Amino acid sequence: MRQNPSPLKWARQHKWLMAPLLSLALTACGEGAQRSWGGEDDVSLASEASLSSVRVRLMAANISSGNYQSYDPGHGIRIFQGTTPDVVMIQEFNYGDNSTSAIRQFVDTAFGPSFYYYREDGAQIPNGVISRWPILDSGKWEDPESPNREFAWARIDVPGSKDLWAVSVHLLTRDSPTRNTEAASLVQYIQANVPAGDYLAIAGDFNTDNFSEPCFSTFNQVVTTSGPHPADQNGVTGTNASRAKPYDQVLVDADLRAYQTITVIGGSSYPSGLVVDTRVYTPLSEIYPAEYGDSAASNMQHMAVIKDFLIPGDSSTDGGTDPVPDAGTGTDAGTGTDAGTGTDAGTGTDAGTGTDAGTGTDAGTGTDAGTGTAQIIINEVLANEPGSDPTGEFVELVNVSSEGVDLSGWTVTDGSGTRHTFASGTSLSAGAALAVFGGASGIPAGLTNAVAASTGALGFGNSGDTVSVKDAFGVTVDSVTYSSSLSGTDGVSMNLSPDAVAGGTFVLHTTLSSLTSSPGKRVDGSDFGSGGGTDGGTGGGTDGGTGGGSDGGTTPVEVITAESEYNDTASTANARVGQNVDVSGAISTSSDNDWFLFEVDSASTITVRLTMSSGADLDWYLYSASNTSSYLKRGYTTSNPEQGSYAAAAGTYYLRVVGYAGSTDSYTLNISGTGVRP
């Protein structure tokens, strides 16, 4: 039998015994409808704290695509970034050289520096668990049939009165009886070790041909295995590469199953959970930076599977997604967690919440450890050089984060292979740019933040190509695929719009300014601020810019009072929202997203208020210009108005309005704060 909870756990549970019952009673009376919100930066109402729920997104993920079953190529990383899971039961947990620092880098990149992880040791294709919340204990149970991996488990301190036991499995492909033997062994471990009062999730790669396999009946002793099952937007539940078989599952016990809720991503909703297939997902912008071809990568044999849950929170927290562990220890002392499964004390800020790129932070100093993630973007590409001198081709990289980045060993590639490898000691300061030219003779006179391609040429295609920048481990950091419409005119480059803003759209440079190109400089020819790039080899590489930091984007002058379409992406955001100026708008369809841009001139607390005309359920998300894929704060309750505050540094920000589960309504948006630009 599964163990009964300890007296301490029992007491902790009974503190919350009446919360779900009271919530149901209020709902029956037509009052108190609630949805979850995230961490300390999410909107919460003190009067509702005792009934608060916390959204927990669980994922099964065997989405490696590299040689030797690794995540090095970056396809799986982009899927993680775009779908923002809270707890991942991951398979084939290999990255780089599999050192502690390499695995930590993978977790930081895919999820954020405040996430925790456990990875089984001594396995060829290890299982593991990655969590937004502290891992209190972890380890592995022996898989009696598998020679190269075990059952990896972690006990997680999720918000509320119960812990979550997450078990990552990778059953053998051999045959159905073998998988049932593995299932029976795991069930015995669970019954002997997991308290009956805690939540349980078994997830991963089951390699099952159908739902009639006996292993599902065996697992049904400890988790529920009945449908309905997660599906993609077309209703297909298969999770192997051909989408014909249910290889991958997220199975939970009855007490957690009771809290399952609709999975909502952007304007899309999935009643039973989501099978993530980038080949069919639309609009793909909802899971940015995931790309269409990620699920089609040559070595990716599985689709990720997601289920969402609304679990009772804890009245002592504001929603529970603050990943800093109790007592601020940062790691779990002596609980058997593998080295590196925690983050240092104080790194509880979500990835992307650091100081906005280009606000004048000195090169290399960054912000407090763990409060931001370095982000290098491709901002400009000239594939069709002026005249016939290919040394004039270039690609411009911009650091839109708040931290200096070591580019040693990073590469620039196109469809034909590696074109440039950055020399050891090359770095790029926060808010700065660095251009790579086809040859030294192509670098314009006086341009110091530029280097020549290490291979002697770039050779970008004039009729179309894919240009990528990859880190020292070969993981794609940013990539642009273009057609001849952007490379068909001699001497005219393609540039992000808005300039130097992640998630923008590439357009011809001449549509943004009178210049045909601006290598190493802003689209209008002005210098990027905050120092520059330092080249570890020859050819200069130090930006002459001395400005105190630019805002990482354009600075529109006009203040708007009404939304105008098309504004469904950050790159087409309505600009700009002025201090305490009401802006009217409407979410007119279930897939509509309204993006707005505003400026904060000095650090201050800003307040976002979204008032719905007919009381429908609309939400808002706040982003920095340096990272429009990870929100800083959100208004995510059923309140009207939907209101919340955020301590903002100076910089450029985006605000996205979306309907929850397809809701539509007209609204009034107001952003106030002493530092918001009037």
What is the mean predicted confidence (pLDDT) over 512-528?
92
What is the mean predicted confidence (pLDDT) over 642-669?
90
What is the mean predicted confidence (pLDDT) over 203-208?
97
Q: What percent of the chain has pLDDT over 90?
A: 52
Question: Does residue 633 surpass a pLDDT of 60?
Answer: yes
Question: Does residue 385 surpass a pLDDT of 70?
Answer: yes
Tokens of 544: 């002459």
pLDDT in the model for residue 558: 60
- As a whole number, the mean pLDDT across the chain is 79
pLDDT in the model for residue 103: 95
pLDDT in the model for residue 529: 62
Question: Does residue 420 surpass a pLDDT of 80?
Answer: yes
Question: Does residue 220 surpass a pLDDT of 60?
Answer: yes
pTM over 0.75: no
Question: Does residue 19 surpass a pLDDT of 80?
Answer: no
pLDDT in the model for residue 43: 32
pLDDT bracket for residue 357 (50, 70, 90): very low
Closest alpha carbon to 412 in 449, 373, 366, 465: 465
Top pLDDT among 658 and 347 is at 658
d(CA 52, CA 69): 41
pLDDT in the model for residue 662: 77
d(CA 17, CA 10): 10
pLDDT in the model for residue 354: 32
Cis peptide before 312 (omega within 30 of 0): no
d(CA 466, CA 479): 7
pLDDT bracket for residue 48 (50, 70, 90): very low
pLDDT per residue over 287-335, tens digit each? 999 999 999 998 899 999 999 999 987 643 333 333 322 323 233 323 3
pLDDT per residue over 591-607, tens digit each? 788 999 999 989 999 99
What is the mean predicted confidence (pLDDT) over 199-214?
96
pLDDT in the model for residue 62: 97
pLDDT in the model for residue 654: 92
Question: Does residue 443 surpass a pLDDT of 80?
Answer: yes
Residues 6+ positions from 97 with CB-CB distance below 8 Å? none
Tokens of 363: 């090169």
pLDDT in the model for residue 427: 85
pLDDT in the model for residue 314: 61
Question: Does residue 268 surpass a pLDDT of 60?
Answer: yes
pLDDT in the model for residue 473: 77
Top pLDDT among 550 and 280 is at 280
pLDDT in the model for residue 228: 92
Tokens of 124: 């060829």
What is the mean predicted confidence (pLDDT) over 374-383?
89
CA end-to-end distance (rounded Å), the chain: 64
pLDDT in the model for residue 47: 27
pLDDT per residue over 483-506, tens digit each? 999 998 999 999 999 998 887 889
What is the mean predicted confidence (pLDDT) over 505-518?
92
Across-strand partners of 642?
A: 610
Cis peptide before 576 (omega within 30 of 0): yes
pLDDT per residue over 60-98, tens digit each? 999 999 888 899 999 999 999 999 999 999 999 999 999
Closest alpha carbon to 110 in 142, 143, 83: 83
pLDDT in the model for residue 409: 86
Give the torsion sign (CA, 668, 674, 677, 678). Answer: positive
Cis peptide before 289 (omega within 30 of 0): yes
What is the mean predicted confidence (pLDDT) over 342-348?
31
pLDDT per residue over 163-190, tens digit each? 999 999 999 989 999 999 999 999 999 9
d(CA 669, CA 573): 14
Question: HEC states along 515-544?
Answer: CCCCCCECCCCCECCCCCEECCCCCCCCCC
Highest-pLDDT range among 404-408, 424-428, 670-674: 670-674
